[in-house]
Amino acid sequence: MISPFKIIKYWVFDLDNTLYPASSNLFLKIDSKMKKFIIKKLKVNEKEAYKLQKKYYLKYGTTLFGLMKNHNIIPEEYLDYVHNIDVSSIKNNTKLNNQLKKLPGKKYIYTNGSKSHAINIIKQLGLDNKLFEIFDIKSAKYIPKPSEISLKYFIEKFKIKPAEAIFFEDISINLVEPKKAKFKTVLIKNNCHPDINTDLIKKEKSNYKYIDYITEDLTTFLNQINLDISK
């Protein structure tokens, strides 16, 4: 049987909690700084800041988009602040780097974060910085995943052929539009995302029909793909 991965020419990876394990708790640091930013800029208390942060995330896909839409927040100021964090909890991952290099075709990082944040993570992981093209939130004109519009910008920018592409994500709703566009989809399963509550878990599971593969370890999964391709 021919491996379904042999046709893949475009390898698309989310960044946070996908290229590095959620157990590093890095996103919790970002999450905390989001709340501090809201407290400072909107002059609200911690409880109200948390409420707004989660409300905007659930409604718009990112807290930033809600802040821009409802409070005229300057996106660069927000991104610079929330991504100014200690990333030392992320460990060098030589095995992942080797598996990524073996994959045939082009590799992309598609993130709702900033390009500078992506570069910072790539360096900390010890990944080859020449491996990826980076599509950040600015490239998406600040329209975040899971928007169909954001995905369209990505496809057009890099001339992606979705039927020959695969998308790796840790949040299932962000795989819905790629699957509809004919990408193969892979969910990096974890229970560490700070925005996962009971209602969101139910919504997440309802999106599983858009997922082709589920794994808890990206490196192991890519190793298996490379073995299949080489046969």
Domain ranges for the chain: 4-20+89-230, 26-82
Q: What is the mean pLDDT of each run of 10 residues along the chain (231 residues)?
A: 90 96 90 96 96 92 96 96 95 96 97 97 94 97 96 98 97 94 94 48 67 95 95 83
Task: Name residues whose C-beta falls within 8 Å of residue 90's C-beta, 6 or more positions apart in sequence.
Answer: 20, 24, 26, 121, 124, 125
Length of the chain (residues): 231
Distance CA 45, CA 58 (A): 20
Residue 205 confidence (pLDDT) = 62
Do the two domains 4-20+89-230 and 26-82 of this chain adopt the same fold? no
Residue 207 confidence (pLDDT) = 73
Neighbours of 21 (CB within 10 A): 21
pTM of the entire predicted model: 0.92
Domain covering 4-20+89-230 assigned CATH 3.40.50.1000 in the classification:
yes
- At 140 the three-state DSSP class reads coil
Burial class (CB in 10 A: 0-12, 13-18, 19+), 19: buried
pLDDT in tens, 37-67: 999 999 999 999 999 999 999 899 899 999 9
Topology of the domain comprising 26-82? DNA polymerase; domain 1 (1.10.150)
